[in-house]
Structure 1
C-alpha cells in the first residue's frame, strides 16, 4: 500500500510540475497579453492542486490538509482575479492585440461609459 501511494504521489507531482512548466513556457512564447494571461492562470492553478495533493499523499497526515487547502484556495482566488485585472488594464492602455479577440464586449461598454461621461459634462465651452 505504501508503494502504491508513493507512486501515486510521484505521478501527481510530475503532472503538476509539467502543468506549471507549460504555464511558464506559455508565458514566454505566446504572442500577446491575453493569451499569455490564459497560459499563466489555467495550467498553474491545476498544477498547484496536483502538487498539493501529491504532498498530502506523501506526508500521510491529516494535519497538513487544511494548510494545503488554504494555500490552494488562495492561489485559486488570486491568480484568476489578478489576471483579469491585468487584462482589463492592458485592454484600456491599448496593449491588447485585437486580432486575437473573437468578441469584444468590453469595447461596447467602454464606449457607453465614455458617451455618458461626455453627456454629463455638457457642451464644450465656447472660445472667444
Structure 2
C-alpha cells in the first residue's frame, strides 16, 4: 500500500513539474514565468521527494530528501525575488497588465525619508 501512495505522489509531482515547464514556455511576461517556475515546481519536488522518502530503505535517505526539500524552500524564493527585482529595474520588462506597483510606492517612500547616519 505504501508503494502505491509513494508512486502516486511521485507521478503527481512529476505532472506538476511538467505543468511548471509548460508555464515557463507558454506565459508571455517575465513575472508570470517566474511564478510558473517556482510554485508548481516546488510543490512537485515536495511530492516526488515525499514519495521517495516513503519507500526509502534507510532513515538517512529520507533525511537527505528532507534536506533537499528544505534547501529548495530556502533558495527558490530568494533566487526568484532577486531575478524579479533585477528585471523590474530593467527597462522594458514591466508588464502593462501590472495594476498595483507596490515596489514603486515603497521606493518613492524610501527616497523621501532622511537617511540615518550610522557612520
**TM-score after normalising by structure 2:** 0.86
Gaps in structure 2 of 5+ consecutive residues: 115-119
Larger displacement relative to structure 2 (35-44 or 56-65): 56-65
Runs of 4+ displaced beyond 2 Å? 109-117
Q: Which residue number corresponds to residue 41 of structure 1?
A: 38
Q: How does 1:17-96 map to 2 (within 5 A)?
A: 17-94=14-91, 95-96=93-94
Counterpart CA distance in 2 for 1:45 and 1:102 is 27
Structure 2 residue 96 is matched with structure 1 residue 98: yes
Count the aligned residue pairs: 113
1:77 CA drift (Å): 0.8
- Answer yes or no: is the 8 Å Cα contact 2:45–2:69 preserved in 1: yes
Deviations 1:17-38 (A, max 9, x none): 0011111111000010110000
Instruction: Report whether the alignment pairs 1:10 with 2:7.
Output: yes
Q: Which moved more, 1:27-36 or 1:88-97?
A: 88-97
Distance 2:60 2:109 in 1: 52
How far off is 1:112 after superposition? 4.0
What secondary structure does 1:110 align onto? Answer: helix
Task: Give TM-score, length-normalised by structure 1.
Answer: 0.80
